[in-house]
Amino acid sequence: MRILAIETSCDDTAVAILEGVGGKVRLLADIISSQVKVHAPFGGVVPDLASRAHTENFLPCLKRALNKSSVGLKDIDLIAVTHGPGLIPSLLIGVNAAKALSYVLNKPIIGINHIEGHIIANWLELIGDKSKAVEGIIFPAACLVVSGGHTQLVLVKKIGDYQIIGETRDDAAGEAFDKVAKLLNLGYPGGPIISQRAQVGNAQAISLPRPMFKTKDYDFSFSGLKTAVLYEVKNHRCQLGNDIYINDLCASFQQAVVDVLVEKTIRAAKAYEVRTIMLSGGVAANDLLRITLGKKSEENNFYFSAPAKNFCTDNGAMIALAAYYRQKETASWQEIKADANLKL
Ligand code: KG4
Ligand code: ZN
């Protein structure tokens, strides 16, 4: 079974080819074309520009994936595509490309939920003989999905059986990193830059709120924290050229985000009596979050899993693997539709 997977839900054009034979999975190609340069001047993703860039980048990515894997289009058995959630102008490019391929090649197609893809990224460790890490994942599991568009706590009863037990009421965690970086003029995307600056900053230097830290639910809110950073900056305009101040602010902000994410995840894991805690989405590449959640999970006897950092941010491999697990649920190309608000 060879799967061609297409992911264009936000600002990365991704094409992957995965081969699965008798439970053995091999990633034959994993091509990603980033649009960071396109969106950086705006401090965030501009949907129309993203759509245009996907249109330009898709065929070169497909060509590279086919070359890299030495697989011809005729050797593909299944087309997989992210059909939501995401930005509609972006989703439409991948979905229409996938439908056209399915029609022309007369191959089945499957629509994959982007959030499920992020969760499934935890099983990508299967590739490259690291199956020990995957064997440790015992259900039920709690997965903290933290990306630029989403922040959700998902109860994973098994692959394909999900229940959202908490989510953000306003900004996503990654969005908060991006907005704070924008107001500090640090560039885009904000997460990697802020975490880099935070490494040399003092996380106790600036007092910032931990929104919804104590609420009994498993929801999050990050817009108040972003506003607190805005007021902090307004009150210390003269410090904006001071690297030490900026590093301390980045470290204090990152610590506030991580404190809330970890506290709520551990509490939910205990309440739902899960065996495993999983992390996924772009913000899962954050070292402080990985280390802190990993440590707290261990202290509380939960097995901890996080994808390799390159599989935390958007990629086609996670969509291909999700399709491999769901290969019986194919559709005809007429049935596949892009849905910006697709539910898990
Ligand atoms: O999953 P992803 O690639 O795209 C969406 O589905 O949204 O996540 C992108 C987000 C961006 O907001 C980016 O700032 C954040 O992930 N991110 C990070 C780090 N690397 C990427 N946030 C914090 N620390 C990082 N190291
Ligand atoms: Zn994503």
Q: What is the pLDDT of residue 150?
A: 94
Relative to the alpha carbon of 309, which ligand is closest? Answer: 1
Q: For residue 10, how far is its CA from the centre of ligand 2 (angstroms)?
A: 7
Q: Residue 129: pLDDT band by 50, 70, 90 thresholds? A: low
What is the β-pairing status of strands 276-280 and 141-146? Answer: parallel
Please name the residue whose Cα sits nearest to atom 22 of ligand 1.
Answer: 191
Secondary structure (H, E, C), 179-201:
HHHHHCCCCCCHHHHHHHHHCCC
Q: How far apart are CA 300 and CA 272, in angstroms?
A: 13
- pLDDT at residue 7, as a whole number: 98
Residue with the smallest CA separation from ligand 1 atom 23 is: 191
Q: Residue 130 pLDDT > 60, yes or no?
A: no
For residue 12, which atom of ligand 1 is closest to its CA?
3
CA dist 107 and 147 (Å) reads 32
SS (H, E, C) 209-243: CCCCCCCCCCCECCHHHHHHHHHHHHHCHHHCCCH
- pLDDT tens for each residue of 4-40: 999 999 999 999 999 998 778 899 999 999 999 999 9
With cut-offs at 50, 70 and 90, classify the pLDDT of residue 132: low
283 lines ligand 1 (CB under 6 A): yes
Query: Which pLDDT belongs to residue 43?
Result: 87
Q: What separation in Å is there between the alpha carbon of 164 and the centre of ligand 1?
A: 20
Q: Which ligand is nearest to the CA of 282?
A: 1
**Predicted confidence (pLDDT) per residue in 233-269, tens digit:** 999 877 888 999 999 999 999 999 999 999 999 999 9
Q: What is the mean pLDDT of the chain?
A: 95
Residues 133, 122: Cα–Cα separation, whole Å: 9
Residue 226 CA: distances (Å) to CA of 174, 176, 178, 196, 210: 11, 6, 10, 18, 11
Kindly compute the dihedral angle of the four CA atoms of residues 44, 48, 53, 59, in this order, to the nearest 10 degrees. Answer: 140
Nearest atom (ligand 1) to Cα of 174: 12
Q: Each residue of 286-318: pLDDT tens digit?
A: 999 999 999 999 999 999 999 999 999 999 999
User: How many angstroms separate the alpha carbon of residue 171 from the centre of ligand 2?
Assistant: 15
Q: Give pLDDT, residue 287.
A: 98
Instruction: Assess contact for 191 and 283: CB atoms under 8 A.
Output: yes
262-291 pLDDT, tens digit per residue, is 999 999 999 999 999 999 999 999 999 999
Statement: residue 126 has pLDDT above 80: no
Token pair recorded at residue 205:
């230097």
For the cut 70, the answer to whether the pLDDT of residue 112 exceeds it is yes
Looking up tokens 């194919």 gives 330
CA distance 179 to 111: 31
CA of 324 to the centre of ligand 2 (A): 19
Q: Are 25 and 325 in contact (CB under 8 A)?
A: no
Which of 158, 123, 153 minimizes the C-alpha distance to 139? 158
Helix (H, G, I), strand (E, B) or coil at 144: strand
Element (H, E) at 116: helix 114-120
Q: Are 14 and 7 in contact (CB under 8 A)?
A: yes
Output the pLDDT for position 8: 98
Amino acid at 180: V
90 lines ligand 1 (CB under 6 A): no
CA of 148 to the centre of ligand 1 (A): 5
pLDDT, tens only, 316-344:
999 999 999 999 999 999 999 999 999 99
Ligand 1 site, residue 313, Cβ cutoff 6 A = yes
- Ligand 1 pocket check for 174: Cβ under 6 Å: yes
Nearest ligand for residue 182 CA: 1
Calculate how far, in angstroms, residue 154's C-alpha sits from the geometric centre of ligand 2: 15
